[in-house]
Amino acid sequence: MLKFFAKYKFFGIFLFVLSAIIITIIYNILKPKERLPVYQPNMVTSELVDSTMQEVRKYHTISDFELYNQNGDTITQDFYKDKIYVADFFFTTCLTICPIMTDHMLQIQERLKDDPEVLLLSHTVIPNADSVPQLKKYAVEKGINDEKWNLVTGDKKEIYDLARKSYLAAKSQGDAGPFDMIHTENFVLVDKKKRIRGFYDGTDAEAIEELMHDIEVLKKE
């Protein structure tokens, strides 16, 4: 009996390894591929969405824009063509959530510094104060990589419309005026087709890890 097992030991090991490989292959084939949702305005809480957009259920994309970055360069959708990017809203003199958000964006910048497929975009919500020189000063102080991350300013109405109608990431100030808003802590993940694929709390370290994971999922689509 012992001679029998000794004779077929290697054959048994081979069958075991082959079975494990086959099971793994079948599991990977049958395993549902992870895919991120495509967010539409009607899927987002109404306080973050302009009233003209709240019933939109499909085909939502980020609108074209023309803004100016920390170097005075004109930034349009062309800069982000065929790129995944993370967008947010902030202002340079904010002392509450913005410093935490900026620190987390800096972490993302560092982790993706060698990845040309992913870029960053931060919009000031007070463009009258956050001029190009002010954005440049902020960028230098924080160590922002100009090739990776644009801080943009421009027409206040255009930025407001982007926040409320495109990125779905700001609350209206209501009586404060038609183009005043309260920016949220949201980081918005945008795919290569200009569609929103995720919202993340920019002040929460765990949410940043989720964002990093989702970027990798998006790159595999």
pLDDT band at 181 (very low <50, low <70, confident <90, very high): low
**What integer is the mean pLDDT of 152-172?**
92
pLDDT band at 16 (very low <50, low <70, confident <90, very high): low
For residue 182, the model assigns a pLDDT of: 76
Classify strands 149-152 and 118-124 as parallel, antiparallel or unpaired. parallel
CB atoms within 10 A of CB 170: 25
Does the pLDDT value for residue 184 go beyond 80?
A: yes
- Predicted TM-score of the model (pTM): 0.84
Does the pLDDT value for residue 4 go beyond 50?
A: no
| H runs (alpha helix) in 1-119 | 2-30, 98-111
Which H helix or E strand runs over 37? none
b/e 53-88 (16+ beta carbons within 10 angstroms → b):
beebeeebebeebebbbbeeeebeeebbeeebbbbb
58: Cβ contacts below 8 Å, ≥ 6 apart: 40
Task: Tell me the fold of 41-219.
Answer: Glutaredoxin (3.40.30)
| Mean pLDDT, the chain, integer | 88
- Give the dihedral of Cα atoms 34, 40, 45, 49; nearest 10 deg: 140
Does the pLDDT value for residue 5 go beyond 50?
A: no
19-58 pLDDT per residue, tens:
656 655 665 555 568 999 999 999 999 999 998 999 999 9
79-115 pLDDT per residue, tens:
999 999 999 999 999 999 999 999 999 999 999 999 9
For residue 23, the model assigns a pLDDT of: 59
191-208 pLDDT per residue, tens:
999 999 999 999 999 999
Does the pLDDT value for residue 212 go beyond 80?
A: yes
Does the pLDDT value for residue 141 go beyond 60?
A: yes
Q: Which residue has better confidence, 14 or 32?
A: 32
For residue 114, the model assigns a pLDDT of: 96
